[in-house]
Amino acid sequence: MITSLSIENFALIEKLSIQFSDGFSTITGETGAGKSILLGALGLVLGKRADLTSLKNKEEKCIIEAHFFIKNYKLKSFFEANNLDYEEETIIRREILPSGKSRAFINDTPVNLQELQDLSQYLIDIHSQHQTQELSDDVVQFQIVDSVASNANLITEYSLVLKEYKKSKSELKSKTELLQSVIKEQDYNTFLLEELLAANLKSGEQLELETQFEKLNNVEFIKENLSKSVALANDEPFGAILNLKEIKIGLQKIAGFSSEYNELHERIASIVIEFDDIQKELENLSETIYGNPEELELINQKLQLIYALQKKHQVNTVEELLEIQNELDTKVVSVTTLESEINAITNAISTKENELDTLAKNIHTKRAEAIPVLTNKLATILELLGMANARFNIQLNTKDDYFANGKDEIQFLFSANKGSDFGLLKKVASGGEMSRIMLAVKSILAQYSKLPTIIFDEIDTGVSGEIAHKMGQIMKQMSTTMQVFAITHLPQIAGKGSEHFKVYKTEKDNQTQSELKLLTQEERITEIAQMLSGANISESALNHAKELLN
């Protein structure tokens, strides 16, 4: 339950702080006095978006803080799941800065709006006038029936299985489309793979083949130049090696005269050794090189095959061709793999369908059992509210489709008068009847939900007199198990509150601002008398106000 609310610099409120009790509280005030501002401030605390128009003074920040006593509502697991400090007296604070940025805190821990919204679902139900029309929405109708049927756990389990089912269906569609595509390309991919396999490609062989081809293709030219080099090295008496040896002998004779000559001698000696080695290698190469037209032709054929494959696959290396070969191999093999995967997914879908069918059947059974209970309770409460002949016919139809909460479709049919046919609720119920039906629904749901607080924002629209008196009694009864607030224009309801708050406007420094105060017993009499007779309070209005309060 909410124990206190403080507001600073919000809309017409400069500064306000108020304490609340755990019973039935009523809030009254003239139209435009600021009742909606209170709900707007509370909405910000509960995670609604804000903007700069919320600030009374655009130069200062707006702060809204609400305290909630949550000891009895088993919310510790929520706090643990969201890494929040759990406090029995939990404080939610919302700040709107002049820059337009917004900050939110739960027990002084910064949180995002989604976390506020998630927590608010366990704290307060704010029922505004337009929500009465939501009774015509089948989502809301299911929520009503499922609350009475205690279907929450079953629907949660069903939702988890449905999520897995939809994921499997999506995966099956994707795999099936891929299989069709692979089958279509299978023959062509097989041909390409066999062509590459037949080429027997090896990494690095292209460079080796191209080198061998150049050698064999130019064997005569190479042999000629090798022989010429050997001749120049060995030719007598002017061969290069003989001349180098003569130089070596000459330098050896003078090496002892200086270190310079000795160094030159050592260098030429090294050159002689190296050149001698080169000369021998030239002779070996010259003797071993020979033409081989057959080998040349084989190398040329292999290279032409490689070039053709590279052009076909638009690549430049054998390594890239080998990558394509591996990819094709995977594609060719993948048909069998895909078929196996599709069979596994199909079996999983069948299993999940069986689970969903079982869960949906159990949900349907509990709904069917809850509907007579719900319609009887509605009829009883509506009779108190002046609708003695009101009847509901709630129809459940099971379909083949899997919906978000089962396999049922629902219709709330309603008849307000004896002898009249049932019709869709949204078409046959008047505004005043819808208000009373909504109150009846909320009254019933209060018995099943563990929600700490409910706020009725002018749920009494379209009713008056004795009906208003009965509505007040129902809200008073609801307050025995939860905290109830009623924003009302009707004195019959205002008089039922354990506490009575008044919203009013004042002027300060030529500026209008909204205030909220807890009325004393005497102030309540005056306020209710004004609601009965207007600004000029009559004696009879005062007496009537006292009667309402008693």
Q: What is the DSSP string of 347-389?
A: HHHHHHHHHHHHHHHHHHHHHHHHHHHHHHHHHHHHHHTT-TT
Residues paired with residue 90 on neighbouring β-strands, in sequence order: 68
CA distance 56 to 13: 7
What's the pLDDT tens digit per position in 80-126? Answer: 988 999 999 999 999 988 888 889 999 999 999 999 999 998 898 88
What's the pLDDT tens digit per position in 290-306? Answer: 667 777 788 788 888 88
CA distance 473 to 497: 10
Query: Please, what's the largest Cα pairwise distance for the chain?
Result: 152
The larger pLDDT score, comparing residue 45 to residue 204, is at: 45
Its pTM stands at 0.66
Reported as a pLDDT band with limits 50, 70 and 90, residue 129 is low
- Lowest mean pLDDT of 14-18, 198-202, 508-512, 546-550, name the range: 508-512
Q: Using alpha carbons only, how large is the chain's radius of gyration in Å?
A: 46
Contact 201, 317 (CB under 8 A): no
pLDDT above 70: residue 333: no
Chain mean pLDDT for the chain: 86
90 burial type by CB count under 10 A (0-12 exposed, 13-18 middle, 19+ buried): buried
Contact 43, 34 (CB under 8 A): no
What's the pLDDT tens digit per position in 346-361? Answer: 999 999 999 999 999 9
pLDDT at position 395, please? 93
Reported as a pLDDT band with limits 50, 70 and 90, residue 339 is confident
pLDDT above 80: residue 232: no
CA angle 370, 374, 376 (to 5 degrees): 120
Any idea where the domains of the chain sit in the sequence?
1-123+451-519, 177-337
Arithmetic mean of pLDDT, 50-61: 81
- What is the percent of the chain with per-residue pLDDT over 70, rounded to a whole number? 97
Reported as a pLDDT band with limits 50, 70 and 90, residue 237 is low
Phi, then psi, of 385 in degrees rounded to 5: -95, 20
Contact 282, 233 (CB under 8 A): yes
pLDDT at position 181, please? 79
Arithmetic mean of pLDDT, 6-33: 89
Per-residue tokens: 19: 């304490």
pLDDT at position 236, please? 60
pLDDT at position 173, please? 94
Per-residue tokens: 355: 């689970």
CA distance 150 to 312: 67
CA distance 208 to 200: 15
Place of tokens 């690095």: 204
| Region 1-123+451-519: CATH code | 3.40.50.300
Choose the most confident range, by mean pLDDT, from 123-132, 229-238, 377-386, 448-457. 377-386
What's the pLDDT tens digit per position in 470-506? Answer: 989 999 999 988 899 999 989 999 999 999 999 988 8
What's the pLDDT tens digit per position in 441-462? Answer: 988 888 887 788 999 988 877 7
